[in-house]
């Protein structure tokens, strides 16, 4: 098995990578059967972005956790890695595509967990929300709002009290962040074919930034989001610890 190892700047990640390379060798991603990033969830997202063209063509990713949470990663074990990878369960995920119109122009980004809008100052954000061309909220007054995929629903979406979505649910979570008005609005569940548009009200007075995972664009005027169903990425997980089981377990966490 040809493995392409890569490591984050987390303490010990480079040392671990050296140990794995000593046992199994190392290959360029373009010549590999699998990519193995060693780090946290943030490094996994960076790895997916850096190798997008290869992963789109079917190159799988088996992450190993050297971060804090490691929800998208597997446990660190040096022994019998090729067999672990061969026995792993696969999870196919499609990212969100964000089209943002900002002060400096239009920007397109992909997000595997969520697209989030945040107020940039002490002023609350005022945001209009439309779904498939129909206005659903004339004005949300909040710290922000986000759209999350099922794979990302246990990340920032969960911290914002959004719902945990089963991996095969074919829905997206639309979740407010510290909503002030409407005070009791807790968000919505949308079909994964929905196109969501956020329109920033008074963007000069109440500036808002948009983040596609960890890619931030400041001073946005409008943001459109839909799932990119043509892009399918394969993540691998130990057979006793699949992503669908992790997501289900989060729904019963106390």
Residues making up the chain, counted from first to last: 254
Rounded to 5 degrees, φ, ψ at 165 are -105, 130
Hunting for tokens 């400041």 — which residue is that?
A: 218
Instruction: Show the beta-strand stretches assigned E in the chain.
Output: 3-7, 34-39, 64-65, 89-93, 96-102, 105-111, 114-119, 125-131, 134-148, 171-181, 188-191, 196-200, 208-212, 215-217, 220-227, 233-237
d(CA 153, CA 16): 30
For the chain, the straight-line distance linking the first and the last C-alpha, in angstroms and rounded, comes to: 40
Identify whether the C-beta of residue 61 lies closer than 8 Å to the C-beta of residue 47. yes
DSSP H or E segment with residue 55: helix 52-56
- Which of 34, 50, 32 lies closest to 42 in space, CA to CA? 50
Q: Which of 18, 33, 41, 240 is catalytic?
A: 41
Residue 238 bears catalytic tag: no
Active site residues: 41
């Amino acid at each position: 098995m040809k493995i392409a190892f890569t490591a984050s700047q987390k303490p010990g990640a480079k040392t671990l990578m050296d140990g794995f390379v000593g046992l199994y060798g190392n290959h360029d991603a373009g010549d590999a059967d699998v990519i193995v990033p060693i780090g946290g969830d943030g490094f996994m997202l960076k790895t997916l972005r850096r190798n997008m063209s290869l992963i789109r063509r079917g190159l799988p990713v088996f992450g190993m956790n050297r971060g804090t949470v490691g929800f998208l990663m597997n446990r660190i074990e040096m022994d019998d890695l090729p067999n672990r990878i061969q026995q792993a369960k696969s999870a196919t995920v499609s990212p969100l595509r964000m089209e943002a119109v900002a002060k400096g122009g239009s920007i397109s980004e992909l997000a595997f967990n969520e697209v989030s809008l945040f107020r940039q100052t002490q002023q609350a954000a005022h945001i209009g929300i439309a779904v498939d061309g129909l206005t659903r909220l004339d004005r949300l007054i909040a710290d922000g709002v986000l759209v999350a995929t099922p794979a990302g629903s246990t990340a920032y979406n969960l911290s914002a009290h959004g719902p945990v979505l089963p991996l095969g649910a074919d829905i997206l979570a639309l979740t407010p962040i510290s909503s002030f008005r409407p005070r009791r609005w807790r968000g919505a569940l949308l079909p994964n074919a929905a196109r969501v548009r956020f329109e920033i009200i008074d963007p000069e007075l109440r500036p808002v930034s948009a983040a596609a995972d960890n890619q931030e664009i400041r001073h946005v005027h409008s943001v459109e989001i839909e799932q990119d169903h043509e892009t399918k990425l394969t993540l691998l997980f130990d057979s006793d610890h699949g992503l669908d089981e992790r997501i289900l377990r989060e729904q019963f966490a106390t």
